[in-house]
Each structure stands twice: as structure tokens, then as C-alpha cells.
Structure 1
Amino acid sequence: MTDVSVDSKSSTGQDSGASTAPLLETKKLTRHFRVGRGLSRQMLHAVDDVDLTIDRQEIVALAGESGSGKSTIARLLAGVYQPTSGEIYYQGRPTSSMRSRKDQLAYRGDVPMVFQDPFSSLNPAFRVSHGILRSLKLHRPELTRAQRLEEAERVVEAVGLSPAGDIMHRYPYELSGGQRQRVGFAQALAHKPKLILADEPVSMLDVSIRIGLLNLMSELRETEGVSFLYITHDIASARYVADRLAIMYAGHIVESGPAESVLANPKHPYTDLLLGAVPDPRAPLTAAVEGDTGEPPKVIDPTPGCRFRWRCPLVVDECHQTTPTLRILGTNHEAACHVAEPDA
């Protein structure tokens, strides 16, 4: 993957030596939530021991069903939630060491988030220009008012909305869903980011306009040098846009690797299940997904063992006793499964 050039001193105070480190990396990232009260209090394990790496100018897709912990990871990386344990490293520096307001603001400018719902992510009381200009004033205070206006028009044009002047003077209700989501990308782009966290950005849009947003991510990667963490439950879109793919189930990453390798040669039974659920126009309408039996995942005070064992057609005794960890099974291809076999 081609690295984008970085300044000798980054906005978070890192020197040029940090460019050899991954852009963003998590180690044993964990987030638990307390549920219930008193004697009935329990612990929900939303994210457990997640190791994730995103390189410069790379699109990484994080896929899985609803409730698997994908959006919790995005909020941890964005600083909305604090980890229960584990660490997030940005350009080699732990984010827990970024205690000053200046460092935190710089990190949030470098790693903005685009939300799932384009209808609620924009303030209906203000014109489109308001959010973009406010982001520029907050995260790029060195710009003059005239420069902010010029940059706002540039980022609006960069996300495929034109004429920029007309779009910026509209209210959100005057835009379509696809246009609103592009405005969300423009607001993120105004920060001059290095990584955009895109939390299911196309799931609420019509199928006919989703491809345009996926192409936009690829274009911004090339033209702006920005990386993406693309969170989705749609395997087809992940295959279309991502360089690498991580599959998440019940708070764990169960498989990761190059997107084509993971999808062409899945090692974990859950990945197989996801691929089997993708509609095939050649299959009869009554076709069912084989192996999808058993109970949903247990993430409230889970016991040791594989969390997919209740639905897995390949379960063995060890799956009930020991929680599997990711192991190399192919070229840059990992899976957390006791029975998965490595490539020959």
C-alpha cells in the first residue's frame, strides 16, 4: 500500500519517525457496559481483545451482523467511549497519553466520523455551510475567513456536489439522502483528516445511489490521501471497496486478511455463514443458509469458549472450553477458530 507523505511534525506532536508505524492500531481493545441494577447487575462485553491495524491510504472494512460490536469500535476510535482496557495507538502514540485539549482536538480532527443516518447527522436549523465552516474554524484556526470559504467550497466539490455555492446555501431538508451523506463526508474532509470512520454510511440510502458513495470513498483515498474504516453488514459492498476485511462476531474479530482472500477462502465458519446469506439470483427462492442453527451470541457475562459455538456446524469439545485467538492460516490471513486449517 502506498504511503502518503506526512509532515515532519504531525498535528498530534508526533515526529516523522512515527510514519513507519501503522496509521492507527489497537491492542487488546476492550469495552464493557454495566447492565441492570443491584444484585441483577451484569456486564455486557461489547468489544473484547480486539487487535486492528489501519495503514496509511488504506480502506479496511469491519463487517458483521447487528450487535457484533462494530459501531462500538468506531466510537472507541473516535473518542466517544473510553476503553475498559487495551490501547489505541495513533501514528505510534497511545491516545491515552493525549491529555491536553490541543492534542485531543488534533486527534479528533485527524480521525473524524461519518454517521449512519444522513437525516439526523445534520442540524436542520442551519444551512449546509454552517457545519463545514464551523469544523474549519475549530480544527484549522490558521485559515482566514476568506480561506475558510474557499476551502469549504473545495471540499463540497471534492465529494461530488456542485455547484458548491448553491449546495452550501441550502438547508438539509432541501437535499436528498445521498446528498446529505456527501455533506457528511465534506464535513469530515474539512478537518484535513488522515482517517475517516464511516459507520454504515450507505445502509440507509437507496440501493441505486450506494455505489456512488462507495466510489467516493475510493476517490477520496486517491485524491486526498485519506484512509477509511468502513463499517458494514453488507459483504458485497465490503468486497467492492475494501483492501482488507475484518469479520466481527459477538465482540471478537474472528477473521481478517486481504478482502479477496477472506471472501474467496474463508477460514471461520461464521464468515462462511455470512457469505451463504448473500442472495444468489441463480438459487431457488426457497434456498436456506446451511448451518445457521442454535442460539444468538451470548455477550452478557459470557463464559470461556468460542462465542459462535452455539451456531457452528463444526463445533468440537475444545470450542466449549477455550476461547480461540487469531492465528495465521494464510498470507496475512488470520482466523480465530480451533478447527480451521492453514493453507497448504
Structure 2
Amino acid sequence: MTPLLETRGLTRHFRVGGTFSRKRLHAVDEVDLTIGEREIVALVGESGSGKSTIARLLARVHEPTEGEILYQGRPLSQIRGRKDELAYRSDVPMVFQDPFSSLNPAYRVSHGILRGLVLHRPDLNASQREAEARRVVEAVGLHPAAEILERFPYELSGGQRQRIGFAQALAYRPKLILADEPVSMLDVSIRIGLLNVMAGLRENEGVSILYITHDIASARYVSDRVAVMYGGHLVEHGPTEAVLSRPKHPYTQLLLSAVPDPRAALDPDAVKDRGEPPRVVDPTPGCRFRARCPFAIDRCSVETPRLRQLGVDHQAACHVAEPDADILAEAGA
């Protein structure tokens, strides 16, 4: 089955140091990622790992340096003209980290949703647009919809504003929503509500979601698959429970060890962070996690590891990671 969206060798480098500089920041390097229909994929990693750059590449804010993006089997490089561009942006909208920045404070909430409907769904008349605006507001759990639409952004809480961000995206009848850290600016007590909204959109609206986050606990709660980014590379990928219950890459193990659990005893064998984040300006060959990795070997300094199969649909880019031989044998892999 053709994935809804697929990246092949997706790469994005940025020039740094001035007009004539030859230095390049390797924000994303050779990322292969797929997102299926009605699927939530979590892209996890710390700040600077390349997560948001991938979202902006998929949203066509940036063009890839190398590699390609395919949407429903068609390369995005073939998109030509305003009509095709609008069609793709309707199918793949983005919800941003700061809910206030996506709403114009001078206008009522209804303005952004109705304006988007005029642009992306010109087949609707005025009364149909108003009905659709009420429908999408209710779909994200805001009631009464008519009252919410008449409010100004400053009259809403942070959680309500972020829900409006999802309502604006939903109004376009999307196939895939790019959600860039949508809960990171919200109080912990209301994050779960927005995660449930995302799960509800998948179940009730048939929408896929790329959920970008540094919070591995929320990724576990809402996603079907997890992709772990580090230093511009995809270092581990697979079904959520497989990756988070049996992490293969030392960086994934480090992320999990950082999740607080007051009931758990101290684990002296837990992976310890012993270094600094990687240099991604003109990086040298080798694993970019090697300076922080307690298991690094000589090979890690000279050869960049590639993703390899270590479990059923579970891949990791690590020279020392061991495969789940029993699980692979059961699956006949």
C-alpha cells in the first residue's frame, strides 16, 4: 500500500557564516520516513535535533537540499501552479507550537476559520462556511461553538487557542496535520485533553498526524509509531510500544531514563549522559551521538551507522545495538 506521505533521503543544509561562507549546518540528513492513512506518528528528539525542520520541509516552507518528499505517491517537486499548491496545503496544514501566534488578535476567532474556508474551499457559500466553522470548533471539543467563534483570542485560554489551531486546520478537510510541539506551551494538567483531541481527529475525521515533540511520555500515549531524531539523523523507528519498551539506540534509552518516575528505584545501570550535543556544522563522519554514548566503539568514530532491522518493523542506526533474535525468528524475518 502506498503511504500517505513518504520521505526518501530527505536532507536540508543551511549556509552559516555569511554570503561567501562554505560552512553548512546539517539540520536534516538522509531521513527516510513514512506516514500512513489514519496514523499518528510521533517525531521525538531534543531541541536542535531537526524535528521542526522536517515539519517545515513537509509544509514546503523550505525546499530539500537533497532527497524527495512523496505525497500519495507523487513527488512534491512536481507541484506546479497555485491550484496544486493550495490543494497540497489544504491536505497537509500545520499547527504551530505557539497557539497565540496563529491567531490574529485584532479579529474574532471566526475570522481565521472563515478566511481559510474562503481560500481553500471556494465551493461553500456563506451559510455553509458558518456551519462548517461551528462543526470544526465542536470537533475539537469547544462548546458552545457559536459563542467561541465570537470571542477574541485574548478571551481564550492557551488550551482553547491551541484547539482553535486544530479547528482551523480541520476546516480544510486535511489528510495529514503537521503538529509542531502543540502541547509544549500548555499546562501539564490540560495537555492530556489536547492529546485526546488529536486521537479523536484520527478516529472521527480519518486524519493522520505527524506529532512533533520532545516529550516521550506523550508520544507513548497518543502515537502508533515513534521516530527518534538526533543531530539531524533518524536513529530509531518503529511501533511505539516496541521502541519504548525495548529501545535499541542509546539515545532513545537516554530519553526514557530522563522521564521521571517517583515510584521507581534508582537504576545504577541506566544510560548516563556524559557529553554535549553534537556539532552539526560541517560534521565529521561517524555516529553523532558517540561523544555522549557509554557504549561507543572505534567504528562509531569513522562510520555513520545506517538504520537496520532489529525487531519486527523496528529499526535503529547503531553499530552496537543487538537485534531481538527471538522476535524476528517468530515473525519469520
Q: TM-score range by the shorter chain?
A: over 0.9
CA distance 1:307–1:243, change in 2 (3 Å) = same
Aligned to 1:208: 189
Once the two structures are TM-superposed, the CA of residue 288 in structure 1 deviates from its matched residue by: 11
Change (3 A) 1:312 1:113: same
Q: Tell me what 1:253 maps to.
A: 234
Q: Residues 151-162 of structure 1 correspond to what in structure 2 (within 5 A)? A: 151-162=132-143
Match of 2:73 among 70, 73, 92: 92
Alignment of 1:67-82 (within 5 A): 67-82=48-63
Kept in 2: contact 1:113–1:197 (CA 8 A): yes
Aligned mate of 2:162, from 151, 156, 181: 181
Post-superposition offset of 1:306: 0.3
Q: Find the aligned partners of 1:285 and 1:257 in 2 and give their Cα distance.
A: 28
Give the TM-score normalised by structure 2: 0.95
Code of the residue aligned with 1:299 in structure 2: it is V
Gaps of 5+ in 2: 326-333
1:275 maps to 2:250: no
Question: What is the CA distance between 1:76 and its match in structure 2?
Answer: 0.4
Q: How many angstroms apart in 1 are the aligned matches of 2:46 and 2:210? A: 16
Deviation digits for residues 263-315 of structure 1 (CA, Å, limit 9, x no counterpart): 00001000000001111113579999642012221100000100000100010
1:222-263 CA deviation, whole Å, 9 max, x = no partner? 110000000000010000000000000000000000000000
Q: Could you tell me whether the CA contact under 8 Å between 2:107 and 2:152 is conserved in 1?
A: yes
Question: Partner of 1:111 in structure 2?
Answer: 92
Matched to 1:239, the amino acid is: R
Do structure 1's residue 164 and structure 2's residue 145 form an aligned pair? Answer: yes
TM-score scaled by length of structure 1: 0.92
SS of the equivalent of 2:228 reads: strand
Q: Which residue of 1 aligns with 2:119?
A: 138
CA separation of 1:110 and 1:285: change in aligned 2, threshold 3 A = same
Match of 1:148, SS? helix
For 1:302, the equivalent position in structure 2 comes to 283
How far 1:120 sits from its partner (Å)?
1.6
What residue in structure 1 maps to residue 215 of structure 2? 234
Task: Tell me, in whole angstroms, the C-alpha distance in 1 between the residues paired with 2:175 and 2:52.
Answer: 19
SS of residue in 1 equivalent to 2:292: coil
Partner of 1:3: none
Contact 1:297 1:308 in 2 (8 A): yes
**Structure 1: 5+ residue stretches without partners:** 1-19
Distance in 1 (alpha carbons) for counterparts of 2:121 and 2:167: 15
What do the CA deviations read for 1:129-184 (whole angstroms, capped 9, x no partner)? Answer: 01000111111111111111111110011111111111101100000000000000
SS of the aligned residue for 2:196 comes to: helix
Query: Matched residues in 1 for 2:253 and 2:266: separation?
Result: 20
C-alpha distance in 2, partners of 1:74/1:31?
A: 12
> Is 1:125 matched with 2:117?
no
CA–CA separation in structure 1 for the residues paired with 2:19 and 2:167: 46
Q: Distance in 1 between matches of 2:266 and 2:298?
A: 35
1:36 corresponds to 2:24: no
Q: CA RMSD in A?
A: 1.5
Q: Secondary structure of the equivalent of 2:211?
A: strand
Taking structure 1 as reference, are residues 264 and 283 closer, same or farther at Cα in structure 2, changes over 3 Å only? closer
User: Does the 8 Å contact 2:253/2:271 carry over to 1?
Assistant: no
Q: Which residue of 2 aligns with 1:65?
A: 46
Aligned length: 325
Which of 129, 135, 140 in structure 2 is aligned with 1:148? 129
Report the CA distance shift for 1:92/1:39 in structure 2 as closer, same or farther (over 3 A): closer
Aligned partners of 1:111 and 1:194 also within 8 Å: yes
Question: Residue in 1 aligned with 2:35?
Answer: 54
Taking the aligned partners of 1:232 and 1:100, their CA distance within structure 2 comes to 33
Do 2:28 and 2:232's aligned partners in 1 also have CA atoms closer than 8 Å?
yes
Structure 2 CA distance, aligned partners of 1:242 and 1:322? 32
1:46-70 deviations in Å (ceiling 9; x for gaps) = 0000000000000000000000000
1:277, 1:289 within 8 Å by CA — same for their partners in 2? no
Rounded Cα–Cα distance in structure 1 between residues aligned with 2:302 and 2:155: 56
Quick check: 1:115–1:201 contact (8 Å CA) kept in 2? yes
Does 1:21 find its partner at 2:5? no
